[in-house]
Amino acid sequence: MIRPKREKPGAPSFSKFVQLFGLLMTLVYLGLGLFILFADAETLNLNMTKEFKYILGGILILYGVIRFMKVYQTITKKERRRYEE
């Protein structure tokens, strides 16, 4: 059985960067979805109907929430593993 290498406590890791990037992208998707939902047509400068604007904004917000749940699960799973060791 191959065991993964243990990282030194306090050492910066790539997984921490991935977690922070995941949280940042969550904020980007949520912010973009809210912007599309509440921005008027002149601000967006796009030729789209109101219905499409609401659908696109809702999908981006929903994807942001799902992405946050995945990132949160990975962070808490790693924290639980750290406490169990």
Burial of 70 (0-12, 13-18, 19+ CB in 10 A): exposed
Kindly state whether residue 53 falls inside one of the protein's structural domains: yes
**Residue 26 lies in domain:** 15-84
Q: Does residue 2 lie within any of the structural domains?
A: no
7 part of a folded domain = no
The rounded radius of gyration (Å) of the Cα atoms in the chain is: 19
Confidence tier at 11 by pLDDT (50, 70, 90): very low
Q: How many domains does one find in the chain?
A: 1
Domain membership of residue 70 (yes or no) is yes
Q: What is the pLDDT of residues 58-73, one digit of tens each?
A: 999 999 999 999 999 9
Q: What is the CB neighbour count within 10 angstroms for residue 65?
A: 13
Render pLDDT for 22-46 as a digit per residue (tens, 0 to 9).
999 999 999 999 999 988 877 778 7
The model's pTM: 0.73
Q: Is residue 10 part of a domain?
A: no
Residue at 3 is within a domain: no
Q: What is the DSSP letter of 47?
A: -
